[in-house]
Amino acid sequence: METLELLIRNTSEVLTVEGSPQQPAEQALTPQPNACVGVRRGKVWYVGSEGALPPGAVGPSTRVLDAHGQFVGPGFVDPHTHAVFAGERAAEFDLRCQGATYLQIAQAGGGIVNTVRATRFASEEDLIRLALPRLQLMLEYGVTTAEVKSGYGLSLQDELKMLRVVQRLSALQPVELVPTLMCAHAVPEEYREWREPYLDLCIQEIIPAVAEQGLARFCDVFVEQGAFTPSEARRVLGAAQKRGLRPRLHVDQLTSGGGAELAAELGAATADHLEHVSDAGIQALAQAGVTAVLVPTSTLFLRVRPYAPGRKLRDAGVNVALGTNLNPGSGMSENLPLALGLACLENGLTAAEAYWAATRGAALALGLNTYGRITVGDPANLVIFSCSNYRHLPYHLGINHARIVIKDGHVVIEQEKALCA
């Protein structure tokens, strides 16, 4: 018999996260007490009691990883990042701490277009060099898959450049990247008085080129005062859908604009942010099966209120996913465990719901059916934590408890950690 490459043993529990979004999250996490996990050819081959392992499964070449009585779960999936960019906006952060708002800073010529200037100036190699440490940090937190948006290029050549960088980064390091085109992130400075021509550029040139070159899976639009209107979003996402790119939307973030209803109308994969979603919008998301992606680190970072109503979204039966929204303006943090803590403290999720949202909920948001769970036959993307159960992740606020991270059956992170509980 072909022996296992890896065996993870001596666990408190293995969370296989094989339930459905409609189940109570504690059940959906499907804990397997004291189970072990066997990996062969990069895939999960066995989950169950060590005593019931088939004879001959463990051989001299099997690497045995001792979980030291702590828990094991699937690799985290971060469903919303802008991890590729050049420059930084620490001065804007400081201005916000002194009372300026995100919209005021944008109106004064800062904000997204500030990062666009730096990103356009950067080469592909520059962008790769700058993004690699961010992805390494994400991996250290246990993130094995992440979505990354373009949206700091805002020209044909610079949007293509960003998406090529995402593609190259995915091959260069262990975090698997899912690319999203976001040419409708902001109207670029040179088109400020020419919105229509910029929309034409998106619809007639950028979307077709990106689709033809297979550089993105999703297309996302920022619907907000000072960004794009719902009717502009309809046009951009209509064109994207015709080219096979699934719609996503940044909506109801800073103001309430019927964005969730728009996401439902368009059959979007996700509606992201949602701080100002209406009750009707929540119902519309539930009926249309749109995943709500919450990014509470940004609500904190921008010093805005309220936080998105995670409790109401879950109670309405919406699949809720959780992301960092890593970006230089509204969320300079790779820390997904911090997002879990905020999701519990401020979005009203339980620890189990937050954990679901950062694993299976996020995988479903990205259409990755074999990710975010531990199922025999699926890619072995796994995390061995330094605590005995998932509740310690939001509770020990912002602290990294990922001790060993495994991507496609390879140990990619092994870090010394004191075992906590």
Check binding of 276 to ligand NIG (CB under 6 A): no
Distance set, CA 372 to CA 144, 200, 292, 367, 378 (Å): 9, 38, 16, 11, 10
Q: Residue 380 CB: number of other CB atoms within 10 A?
A: 25
Check binding of 325 to ligand NIG (CB under 6 A): yes
Residue from 329, 337, 372, 409 in contact with ligand NIG (CB under 6 A): 329
Q: Tell whether residue 267 is among the known ligand binding residues.
A: no
Q: Which one-letter amino acid corresponds to residue 67?
A: A
Q: Which x/- pattern over 62-81 shows residues binding ligand NIG (rule: CB under 6 A)?
A: --------------------
- Cβ-in-10-Å burial (0-12, 13-18, 19+) of 18 comes to middle
Quick one: which of 280, 288, 295, 298 has its CA closest to 319?
A: 288
Check binding of 228 to ligand NIG (CB under 6 A): no
Residue from 30, 150, 180, 253 in contact with ligand NIG (CB under 6 A): 253
Tokens of 184: 């409708």
CA–CA gap between residue 405 and residue 421 (Å, rounded): 19
Residue from 21, 74, 111, 341 in contact with ligand NIG (CB under 6 A): 111
DSSP structure string for 251-273: ESSSS--SHHHHHHHTT-SEEEE
Check binding of 324 to ligand NIG (CB under 6 A): no
Q: Which one-letter amino acid corresponds to residue 381?
A: N
Longest Cα separation, the chain: 72
Q: Tell whether residue 325 is among the known ligand binding residues.
A: yes
Nearer to ligand NIG, 305 or 418 (CB): 305
Q: Tell whether residue 152 is among the known ligand binding residues.
A: yes
Q: Tell whether residue 327 is among the known ligand binding residues.
A: yes
Residue from 11, 70, 81, 115 in contact with ligand NIG (CB under 6 A): 115
| Of 156-164, 322-330, 379-387, 392-400: span binding ligand NIG (CB under 6 A) | 322-330
- Counting Cα atoms < 13 Å in the Cβ hemisphere of 347 gives 37
Check binding of 110 to ligand NIG (CB under 6 A): no
Q: Which x/- pattern over 282-321 shows residues binding ligand NIG (rule: CB under 6 A)?
A: ----------------x-----------------------
Residue from 9, 40, 82, 161 in contact with ligand NIG (CB under 6 A): 82
Q: Taking a C-beta distance cutoff of 8 angstroms, is the pair 146, 83 a contact?
A: yes
Phi, psi (rounded to 5 degrees) for 324:
-85, -30
Residue, CB closest to ligand NIG: 329
> Which residues share a beta bridge with 143?
76
> Which residues share a beta bridge with 348?
none
| Of 110-118, 137-145, 365-373, 375-383: span binding ligand NIG (CB under 6 A) | 110-118
Q: In the 8-state DSSP scheme, what is residue 245?
A: P
Tokens of 133: 């440490």
Instruction: Output the smallest distance, CB 90 to ligand NIG, in A.
Output: 13
Instruction: Output the smallest distance, CB 360 to ligand NIG, in A.
Output: 22
- Edge-to-edge strand order for the sheet containing 143-149? 76-78, 143-149, 176-184, 218-222, 246-251, 270-273, 291-294, 320-322
Q: Tell whether residue 410 is among the known ligand binding residues.
A: no
Q: Which of residues 207-226 bind ligand NIG (CB under 6 A)?
A: 222
Nearer to ligand NIG, 67 or 326 (CB): 326
Residue from 119, 150, 291, 327 in contact with ligand NIG (CB under 6 A): 327
Nearer to ligand NIG, 30 or 270 (CB): 270
CA–CA gap between residue 158 and residue 120 (Å, rounded): 6
> Which residues share a beta bridge with 408?
none
Q: Taking a C-beta distance cutoff of 8 angstroms, is the pair 271, 249 a contact?
A: yes
Tokens of 385: 């934590």
Q: Which of residues 388-407 bind ligand NIG (CB under 6 A)?
A: none
Q: Applying CB under 6 A, which residues contact ligand NIG? A: 82, 111-112, 115, 222, 250, 253, 298, 325, 327-330
Binding-site residues sit at 80, 82, 89, 152, 185, 250, 253, 325, 327, 329-330
Binding-site residues for N-formimidoyl-L-glutamate sit at 152, 327, 329
Binding-site residues for 4-imidazolone-5-propanoate sit at 89, 152, 185, 253, 330
